[in-house]
Every structure is written in C-alpha cells, then in structure tokens.
Structure 1
C-alpha cells in the first residue's frame, strides 16, 4: 500500500531508503491552473520505471494521490501556473542496501511556483566538463541519484542557461535538466533513449508530434561537431516544465534560431 506524505507537513522520514540511498524516483509536473497537459506521460514513466526498480506501485492509488494534490495545492495557486513534484521511494526497512521484503513505497508531494521561463528568442548554452556515465540497467530512469547533474550544474554561470553533457565516447547526450533535438538538412535528430540518463516526458511528446506531422526524424548519436557545424539549422532543448527552448548561442557560437519545433509541439506554448 502506498504511504502518502505532504512535504509541507515536514514529514520526511529519517529511515527512508530514498534519503539513505537514492532508492526512488521523482517527477516534476507543470500545472496550468487546474490542468497538467503532460500528467499521463509523467504517470506512465513513473509506473514503468518503478517496475524496472522493483518498487510496487498501484496506478489507481497514484492517480488518486495526484488528484488530491491537484485539489489541495490548486486552491493555493488558483489560475497561476505552478509545479507539482512527486517523489516516490521504496520506503523504510531493510539492513543496509538490501530492502526488507515487505517494504511499502512512500509518496512525498511538493508544490512550488513556476520558475521564470526562458526567452523565446533563445538561450545561451555551453558544454559541461563533467562526463555523463549511464548504467544500461538504469538508462532513462529519473531516479533520485542525480549527482552527475548536480556537479555539472555547479559549473553553470549566468547568463548560461544550460550545460550539455557528453559520455565517455564523446557523444553529446543531454543537458543537466533537458533533452535535446537537432534540426538539419536531413530532418530531426535526438540521442538514442538507451544513451540517456533521463528520458524526458517532453522528449516523448515531441517525438510523437514529429512523427504525427510527418517530419523526418531519427534517434542517433550526436557529436559536438554536429551541433556546431554548418548543417545545424537549429538546436532545441526540451523540458516538461519549460517546454521547448531554442538555443541561440552554443559555446560562443551563434546558432540559427526559430520557433519551428515549438510550432510543431509545445503543450505549454504561451498564447500570442
């Protein structure tokens, strides 16, 4: 049975395995007034990845808890845009790394105001010096262990909006908090899901929109030269809270900027 805790009640449990070992998952959901356009995508990923980690979750229990949170926190934020964060841990119990057989998962619910949105004219991005290592067993999972992203984010200095991370092979994989899409003469490209530390729900939505629109698209490895080369017709970052963000400058090089991807797909697009 899922145990529910409200973060604003100061109820984080000292024996929680999420706190002790990063044994859990999280989702950060943008809520527009009383609706969350990508909610189903978030719950799909949470259920799928909990299954991969062997954390027993009930979809009906999870949906009921989220509906309760939307009502509780929606009363605070009204028609404003805000953020609902779900943290699921395996629970408490077990000696050391080995969990108890009868451990029950915990769900912590947080809320916050929507952070400032990036300008539609594009953002400045650079490369991180922190390499990204992806364990194939955990690829794509938005687990509570995000230390590589934390270390990379510590390098960031204003006005840089994001840092892109490369793996041991030198392939550009993702940002500290974003996935990426490259537009070129042959269509759209994005790194393969198996290479990602976090496979974002906005990434899934964009891929669905590109395929539905009949846009040429493929998943493939990306080199630094692909992003900085003459054939780059646009580089875009995606994030479920921020939507689609065009990159106007990468590592000091100006890139073509447009709203092409946001036109094709952005559930959070601001009205004209």
Structure 2
C-alpha cells in the first residue's frame, strides 16, 4: 500500500468515500508562493509529515517533495498565489475506526492570493466561545475546523479576525492566525501545547527574533495584559499574510508597534 493517491483539483474530483470528507480524517497546509518560490516550504512539509505520523497516516516524504515540485510547475504563475495541500487517510469504508491498511490521498490545488490586510493594523474581535484544545490534537493543522468556521460565521463586517481565548480567558490564537505579543521589550507567544495549530510563521518568527538577539518566551497571555502600559503591540501571524498588528481588539485600542519589521521581515525568513 506504499505511495499516495494523488488528486489534482483542477482535473479530478475527490471520491465520496474519502475519510477526510466523511470524518475530517486528515491534515492540510496552505503555502504562499511567489512565482515559483514557495515561502517556508521546509517548515510546511515538516509539519505535514510530523502530523501524518501522529495520526498514523502513511505519507512518503520523498513522494510528497516530488509532488510539490510538480505542483509548482503545474500551477505556477508570475504573481503571488497559494498552493494548498490536503492529506487524507484515503478511502476506508463506513465507521470511525481506520482500516488496518490504507492508502493516503493528497489533493493539490491552486488558489488566488487573498487580499492582504492593511499594514497599518487591523480590527479584531474576541470569539464568543472559548476554544477547547484536545491535548491529543494540539498543534495539528487538521481538517477539523468547525470552531473556526463558527467563529468566522459571526465575525463582524469590520473585523479582520476573531481571536480565541481558552476557558480561563487567556489568549490562544485566531481562527486563521497565531498571536505574537510585544510586552515590556520582550516577545511573548501562547504556550505551544495549548494552541490548536502550531503555525509555521509563528515558529519562523520566533527563530528569526531569537537569532537577532531578541527574547522570545512562551507563557500564558491573560486578556488583561493588553490593558497594561507594558503592552507594546499585538500581531496576527500566518504563512500567507506574514505579520500584521492589531490596532483594536473588541473595544480595546492597542498600540501599534513597528519593531518587528525593523528586526526581521516575516516574508523573507529562511525556509
């Protein structure tokens, strides 16, 4: 059963028997591509391979790398675009229990680059329902995204993002972004074990800041921190937009800090 079943989204349809469609049994990656140059590709593929290992989905890394190369040639265009990879356990009958043997399926698709947020800062809101992250699934960019769908469905028209807290009111992440807080001259991120998605841009920024001599810490982020005078700025980060400051979260107006751009450009970080 070695190897992958491959679906090119512009040529083929996904079988109705696919476990990703039936149960969300799979993972995905969303990769920004500039022409034929994918940003943070190594980190994306490493996350996908590690996630597949955790879910016991057979994924040959060499074939994955080859298919991504083919996708860059097949879908490539001169401007910025987005390559999406969807990995599922494949087809496997009815019922939650995976088959003893399965052949994983990889769907490759091309998407237009979404409009980028204003560099001067965006408005965000706090999601009305806390995000509960299962320790067994923490960090995985899985196909199970109903909490994010619901929060996005209720997003006010003027808001760019909905930010989740945990049950204790501590900041976790956005529906499609990770958080980076500048506080008292340091950079703080929520603890990795508590977030639903371990973002590749969040990791790349932490490495870039550390290499530049900045101090980056993981620690709980109570919402009350944003009202303190030591708060210097809150950023939303992901691999498509890079990093954008939040100028207002709900009714709270936040300082805009441009320090990050002077230290490391999120879109020019090492792969």
TM range (shorter): over 0.9
Q: In the aligned structure 2, how far is the partner of 1:115 from the partner of 1:141?
A: 23
Per-residue deviation, 1:140: 0.5
Q: In the aligned structure 1, how far is the partner of 2:93 from the partner of 2:264?
A: 45
Give the structure 2 partner of residue 225 of structure 1. 224
Q: How far does the alpha carbon of each residue in 1:92-116 deviate from its partner, in whole angstroms, 9 at most, with x for none? A: 1144011111210000011111001
Q: In the aligned structure 2, how far is the partner of 1:228 from the partner of 1:155?
A: 25
Q: What are the ranges of 5 or more consecutive residues in structure 1 without an aligned counterpart?
A: none
Query: Structure 2 length normalisation: TM-score?
Result: 0.95
Match of 2:22 among 6, 20, 23: 20
More off after superposition, 224-233 vs 140-149 = 224-233
Q: How does 1:187-206 map to 2 (within 5 A)?
A: 187-206=186-205
Give the structure 2 partner of residue 129 of structure 1. 128
Does residue 40 of structure 2 align to residue 38 of structure 1? Answer: yes
Per-residue deviation, 1:213: 0.9
Query: Structure 1 length normalisation: TM-score?
Result: 0.95
Per-residue deviation, 1:245: 0.6
Does residue 256 of structure 2 align to residue 264 of structure 1? Answer: no
More off after superposition, 106-115 vs 91-100 = 91-100
Q: How far does the alpha carbon of each residue in 1:138-166 deviate from its partner, in whole angstroms, 9 at most, with x for none? A: 10100000100111111112211111101
Q: How far does the alpha carbon of each residue in 1:42-61 deviate from its partner, in whole angstroms, 9 at most, with x for none? A: 00100001100101111110
Give the structure 2 partner of residue 67 of structure 1. 69
Q: How far does the alpha carbon of each residue in 1:24-43 deviate from its partner, in whole angstroms, 9 at most, with x for none? A: 00000000111012111100
Q: How does 1:40-55 map to 2 (within 5 A)?
A: 40-55=42-57
Q: How far does the alpha carbon of each residue in 1:145-195 deviate from its partner, in whole angstroms, 9 at most, with x for none? A: 010011111111221111110111221100111000111115111101100
How many residue pairs are counted as aligned between the two chains? 266
Which runs of structure 1 show a deviation greater than 6 angstroms over 4 or more consecutive aligned residues? none
Q: In the aligned structure 1, how far is the partner of 2:33 from the partner of 2:234?
A: 26
What value does the CA root-mean-square deviation take over the aligned residues?
Answer: 1.2
Q: In the aligned structure 2, how far is the partner of 1:262 from the partner of 1:150?
A: 31
Q: In the aligned structure 1, how far is the partner of 2:125 from the partner of 2:174?
A: 10
